[in-house]
């Protein structure tokens, strides 16, 4: 019984931390050894706006862009094209560096839209809300 309560408290603490993470938006810059640099990518969601911006490869822009995953169909935030692939969901766009289940921006290696090598890195540069 006591053990059960402790687990519940841990679970609640974890949940609080997790929602904190989900609701904070992060600003990333993607860059590659070939010289490619993305514009500032506003990933996640602001507190005021109901959005879930994720980094995508836009085939019309040929750039790393963001798209709001809560809108269907998913469209490039820059040009409105639906020819976008999510860097975190499309296994053709990343190379995992560990044996984790999930993809982590900032840790894994991603496909560069310019040189087409898995040298693209996402660097966290700030927060937005
Ligand atoms: Zn686009
Ligand atoms: Zn490159």
Tell me, what DSSP letter sits at residue 128?
E
Least distant ligand from the CA of 113: 2
Domain assignment present for residue 14? The answer is: no
Least distant ligand from the CA of 64: 1
Cα 118 to middle of ligand 2, angstroms = 8
Q: Tell me the per-residue pLDDT of 26-74, one tens digit each, with 9 for 90 and over.
A: 999 999 999 999 999 999 886 777 889 999 999 999 999 999 999 999 9
Whether the predicted model's global pTM rises above the 0.75 cut: yes
Domain assignment present for residue 31? The answer is: yes
Cα 59 to middle of ligand 1, angstroms = 7
Residue 16's pLDDT is what? 58
Domain assignment present for residue 94? The answer is: yes
Domain assignment present for residue 91? The answer is: yes
User: What domain range is 49 assigned to?
Assistant: 25-128
Domain assignment present for residue 37? The answer is: yes
Tell me, what DSSP letter sits at residue 104?
-
Cα 125 to middle of ligand 1, angstroms = 22
Q: Tell me the per-residue pLDDT of 73-108, one tens digit each, with 9 for 90 and over.
A: 999 999 999 999 999 999 999 998 888 888 889 889
Cα 62 to middle of ligand 1, angstroms = 7
Domain assignment present for residue 19? The answer is: no
Q: Give 56's contacts (C-beta < 8 A, 6+ positions apart).
A: 64, 65, 66, 67, 74, 76, 84, 85, 86, 87
Q: How many domains does the chain have?
A: 1
Domain assignment present for residue 12? The answer is: no
Domain assignment present for residue 62? The answer is: yes
């Amino acid at each position: 019984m006591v053990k059960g309560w402790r687990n519940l408290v841990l679970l609640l603490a974890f949940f609080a931390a997790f929602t904190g993470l989900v609701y904070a938006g992060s600003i990333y810059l993607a860059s590659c050894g070939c010289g490619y640099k993305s514009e500032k990518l506003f990933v996640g969601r602001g507190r005021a706006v109901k959005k879930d911006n994720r980094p995508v490869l836009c085939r019309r822009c040929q750039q790393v862009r963001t798209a709001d995953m809560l809108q269907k169909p998913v469209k490039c935030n820059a040009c409105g094209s639906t020819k976008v692939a999510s860097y975190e969901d499309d296994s053709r766009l990343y190379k995992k560096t560990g044996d984790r289940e999930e993809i982590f921006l900032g840790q894994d290696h991603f496909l560069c839209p310019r040189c087409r090598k898995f040298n693209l890195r996402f660097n966290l540069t700030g927060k937005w809300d």
